[in-house]
Homo-oligomer: A and B are copies of this chain.
Amino acid sequence: MKPETTLFERALRENAQQVENLLDNVLSPAHRSDEITRPDNLLEAMRYGVLNGGKRLRPFLVIESSKMLSGNALAALRVGSALECLHCYSLVHDDLPAMDDDDLRRGQPTVHRKFDEATAILAGDSLLTIAFDIIAAPETPLPDASKTALVLALARAAGIGGMAGGQAFDLAAEKQAPDEQGIITLQAMKTGALLRFACEAGAIIAGADAETRQRLRTFGERVGLAFQLADDLLDLTADAATMGKATGKDAARGKGTLVALRGQAWAEQRLGELVDEASQLLEPYGERADILTAAARFIAERKS
């Protein structure tokens, strides 16, 4: 094991623990000002959908991007946790019978299997909603202008022009396989937009200038492309036990992936290039960027 991997993996684990502590608190029965009360069953479903041992990769990218640029640590932790709520909402809704119809997620029953469909829909809705709550709340130590920028960027990354639109393209792809450009657009929206936001958010939190914000945004795009290519490779090669969810589904459904179109060798070479491009983007930050470049490599080489 390379030393940098160890360092990265420890940072990933420590950040994940902080995110989970914060989410455990945010998703507690005590209702906040302006709220009336919190129904037990819905809260339990939200917690089940979020506190499930995820890697917390998106919060990690927010936290470490912000740290590299000397952003406020608590603000980054809160924005990262908000992003994780939003990511988990998308998993809960994507798993629904009308969507991807998945019974397992990380080896456990999906929210609609553990609770019921109505509760899963509402838990997803509430996780999406609370993401904006967490960013805007007074406990997030950021100027209002930064909060506004984060709300806008997150809404656009998550909405019809981003993640939700990508899921719509993904459903359409089951009926008609997209061409290469269609696959690239679909993936940039479905998984790329949130990963790009994660890195850009670090720059917003740190109050960085427009050039830095654009640089982190491009870094996030490269990371997103690498994430998706690695995912497509894993879908082809890993087994369900490693992934904790059904695999080979994309191929079985006839969904196109770049790996299917271009082949495994191309994908592995392209992954290497993406990691190099991502690393070069952060060269101005020297050693401060080490953890993010290690993250890009981890994302490209992960086995689950």
CA distance A145 to B126 in the complex (A): 24
The answer to whether A158 touches B144 (Cβ under 8 A) is no
The answer to whether B161 touches A31 (Cβ under 8 A) is yes
Report B-chain residues with C-beta under 8 Å of the C-beta of A121. Answer: 93, 96, 98-99, 121
The answer to whether B117 touches A35 (Cβ under 8 A) is no
CB < 8 Å: which of B33, B38, B116, B137 contacts A160?
B38
A148 within 8 A of B: yes
CA distance A165 to B147 in the complex (A): 25
* Given A137-B152, A159-B35, A160-B35, CB of A168 within 8 Å of CB of B132: no
The stretch of A185-193, A244-252, A257-265, A281-289 in contact with B is: A185-193
The answer to whether B165 touches A34 (Cβ under 8 A) is no
Which residue of the partner chain B has the closest CB to A45? Answer: B168
Distance to closest chain B CB from A85 (angstroms): 10
CA distance A65 to B35 in the complex (A): 22
* Given A43-B160, A128-B128, CB of A185 within 8 Å of CB of B36: yes
- A134-152, CB < 8 A from B: 135-137, 143-145, 147-149, 151-152
CA distance A101 to B193 in the complex (A): 33
Report how many copies the assembly holds. 2
A155 within 8 A of B: yes
CA distance A94 to B158 in the complex (A): 21
Report B-chain residues with C-beta under 8 Å of the C-beta of A132. Answer: 132, 151-152, 154-155
A53 within 8 A of B: no
The answer to whether B136 touches A148 (Cβ under 8 A) is yes
The answer to whether A156 touches B34 (Cβ under 8 A) is yes
Report B-chain residues with C-beta under 8 Å of the C-beta of A162. Answer: 34-36
Report B-chain residues with C-beta under 8 Å of the C-beta of A124. Answer: 125
The answer to whether A172 touches B41 (Cβ under 8 A) is yes
CB < 8 Å: which of B34, B126, B147 contacts A148?
B147
- A199-241, CB < 8 A from B: none
The 4 A-B residue pairs whose C-beta atoms are closest, nearest first, are A35-B161, A98-B117, A144-B144, A133-B155
Can you give 22 A-B contacts (C-beta < 8 A)?
A: A31-B161, A32-B156, A34-B153, A35-B160, A35-B162, A35-B165, A36-B162, A36-B185, A36-B188, A37-B161, A39-B160, A93-B125, A98-B117, A125-B125, A126-B159, A126-B160, A126-B164, A129-B155, A132-B155, A136-B152, A137-B152, A144-B144
